[in-house]
Amino acid sequence: MSTKYPTAKRLMDTVSDAHRMSYRIGRSEQGVLTFEPYKSAILPLWRFRTVPIAQKSAEDPWEKFKEFKDQDDFVGMDMTRKFIQMDMTRAKRYANHAGGRKYKKGTKEELSRRDKNPDRDDKERPTDDYQNLKRGFLKQQKQWNDS
C-alpha cells in the first residue's frame, strides 16, 4: 500500500544553490528538524499515534526517499533517511521491550530485552545509490565552497 507523492516541481529546484550547499550531513538524526523546505515536506509523513498510522508512516518516508533518489536529490534522500532512522529508533524500542517500555513503571529498573533481529545489519546498510549521491553532493559542496 505505497503512495506516490507527485510533485509539480522538484523540491531541490525551489531553494537556492547557496541554501542547498549550506546543508551539512550530520551524524545520526542530527539536523533533521531544522533544514527547510525538506523538513516541511517530510514531517507530515512521520506519524505514530496508532498502529495503522505507524505502519503507513513506515511506508511513506521510504516512498519519499525513492522519489528523491529518482530526482538525484541527495539532500532530500539524506533528510528522509534521518526520518526513517528515527522510525527505526522508535520501532527498536517496541521490538526490544514489551509495550515499548524500557523501565519498570515508577522505577529506573530496566526491563528485560527481547532477542536481537538477525537481519538488522542488512536493513541498516546504506544503498549504493545513496552513497553515490552522497559523494556527488560532497564534491559539489566542496566546489561551491572553493569558488
pLDDT digits (tens, 9 = 90+) for 76-125: 999 998 888 887 777 666 666 666 666 777 777 776 665 555 555 555 56
Please give the angle made by the CA atoms of 96, 102 and 107, to the nearest 5 degrees: 155
The structural domain count of the chain equals 1
Q: pLDDT exceeding 90 applies to what percent of the chain?
A: 20
Residue 61's domain comprises 11-146
- 5 within a domain of the structure (yes/no): no
Spatial CB neighbours of 53, under 8 Å, sequence gap ≥ 6: 47
Give the separation between CA 82 and CA 33, rounded to whole angstroms: 10
In contact, 68 and 76? CB cutoff 8 Å: yes
Mean pLDDT is lowest, of 6-20, 46-60, 101-115, for 101-115
Q: What size, in residues, is the chain?
A: 147
Confidence band for 71, pLDDT divided at 50, 70 and 90: very high
pTM: 0.66
Residue 6, domain member (yes or no): no
So what's the pLDDT on residue 130? 85
